Amino acid sequence: MVDPDELLLDGLRAGDEAAFKSLVSRYHNRLVRFAESMVPTRGMAEEIVQDTWIAVVKGIDRFEGRSSVKTWLFRILANRARTASAREARTVPLGDDHELDGRFNRSGAWSEPPVPWADEVDSRVVANEVAGRIRALLPALPEGQRQVVVLRDLEEVDAAAVCGLLGISAANQRVLLHRGRARLRSLLEIEMGRR
């Protein structure tokens, strides 16, 4: 099966403006969301995404297909964001406070998967509201946690690619993911009056 993103890149290489528009339509909002996790303002995130699209057009002939198009785009964006702002240290020291609280295992996966939501309309409305609250709470996470949560949980980028994009170790990625998820859950519990 042919990857639709690869077809868009082939069109872009051939100078097809419609292919570029399709690629932008498909990934722009996702890139902005990731950029917002890396820089302090939405305006700066938008600017970095614009720089990313320029880099894509200029560097299309250098894409060798060793990663997915999505991973390639996120890598370009991460590199642009790193040069656009001063980066804080990327490692999280593992001290006594890194104990897992039981919701996640050492690989960052759920110990017990959440119970699937019912297909009832009320459940869907609540799910949409909770998803919106989670997105609104993302800025409350420390930068490293926010970046890992956005990539892993919202953009569904695999763990190895996240490590490469952010320049962190697999262990650090798991810790950041666990802490980010746990913090979001705590914030939601506080909002829902369960704490």
> Number of structural domains, the chain?
2
* Bigger pLDDT: 176 vs 154: 176
Residue 91 lies in a domain: no
Mean pLDDT to the nearest integer, 6-20: 87
Residue 104 β-bridge partners: 110
Q: Which range has the worst mean pLDDT, 19-28, 121-130, 143-152?
A: 121-130
Residue 154 lies in a domain: yes
Residue 45 lies in a domain: yes
Mean pLDDT to the nearest integer, 64-75: 87
Helices (H), the chain: 4-13, 17-38, 42-59, 69-84, 121-137, 143-149, 159-166, 170-191
**18, 26, 178: which is closest to 109 by C-alpha?**
178
Spatial neighbors of 121 by CB under 8 A, at least 6 apart, are none
User: Per residue in 22-47, is it b (16+ CB within 10 Å) or e — as a string?
Assistant: bbeeebbebbbbbbbbbbeeeebbbe
Predicted confidence at residue 152, as pLDDT, reads: 92
pLDDT band at 78 (very low <50, low <70, confident <90, very high): very high
CATH of the domain at 115: 1.10.10.10
Residue 68 sits in the same domain as residue 110: no
Residue 101 lies in a domain: no
- C-alpha 170/C-alpha 185 separation (Å) is 22
Predicted confidence at residue 192, as pLDDT, reads: 76
Residue 79 sits in the same domain as residue 48: yes
Angle at 144 between CA 133 and CA 69, to 5 degrees: 85
Residue 90 lies in a domain: no
